Structure 1
Amino acid sequence: MRTFFGMILGALLLVGGVYVYDSMQTSSIANGQVAQANRTIVNWDVAAADWQALKGRAHDDWVKISSK
């Protein structure tokens, strides 16, 4: 159980660390060619859209399962 908890905690710390790192970087759209050296690790707009799609699909599946 401790190993499973450690893996979950490690994954959350990793995602949190990447988010903090990316939030401190400049945008290549805002600053043009100069900012290409400081590109973010994750495209957070795509990640947010995928997360919303996952939540919607899970909700639809839950409604389908609970209605039976």
Structure 2
Amino acid sequence: MLHLLVVKPNTPVVPPMKSQQIRQQFNVNSLIFIVPGAGHVDLYDRVDLIPFAKLTSFFKDHLK
């Protein structure tokens, strides 16, 4: 199974440390992206913050 966590630093919703704990529960096909400057819902429409290159690379490597 493939897991991708995209989080912002210093958020009370899912702090980065909790994200790391969640990630460790998954298998080797997991990755966490910490997106500086992003708010809780910013990655829906703030395309300047979306890490497109990292996401593309992750999906190309794992969705074959």
TM-score, with structure 2 as normaliser: 0.22
Larger radius of gyration: 1
- Higher helix fraction (1 or 2): 1
